[in-house]
Amino acid sequence: MKPRLRLDDASDVLTVIEAARILGLGRNGCYELVSRGTLPSTRLGRRIRILKTELLRTLAAGSHKEAASVPSPAAGGGGRRERPTPE
C-alpha cells in the first residue's frame, strides 16, 4: 500500500484510490464505502470521483466509524479466500 496522502496535499476532486490513501484504507475497502453510499461520490462515465468537501463532511458526520469497520488488507479482510477442500 502506498503511504498515506495528506488531506492538505490532495486536490479538490479525488479518485477512490486517493481517498483510500487519505483514510488509510485499502482500495477495495474504499470502493465498498462508495458502493454502500457511505462515502458520497460522483460517477463520470466509468470513473468515480469524490469531492474533498464531501470526504470532510462524511468524516465530520461520524461515518468514519463505519469506514473503520471495513477490513483492511493488512488485517486479513481483503484479497483471496481459500476454497474449502473437498472431503
Domain boundaries, the chain: 7-69
Helix 16-23 with 27-36: angle, nearest 10 deg: 110
Q: Is 61 helix (H, G, I), strand (E, B) or coil?
A: coil
Q: Is 63 helix (H, G, I), strand (E, B) or coil?
A: coil
Q: Report DSSP state, residue 15.
A: E
**Distances, alpha carbon 48 to alpha carbons 15, 31, 33, 76, in Å:** 6, 9, 12, 26
pLDDT tens-digit profile of 17-72?
999 999 889 999 999 999 999 999 999 999 999 999 999 898 888 744 555 555 54
The CATH code for residues 7-69 is 1.10.1660
Rounded to two decimals, what is the model's pTM?
0.66
For residue 1, the model assigns a pLDDT of 57
Give bridge partners of residue 50 from the DSSP assignment: 14
Confidence of residue 2 (pLDDT cuts 50, 70, 90): confident
For residue 5, the model assigns a pLDDT of 81
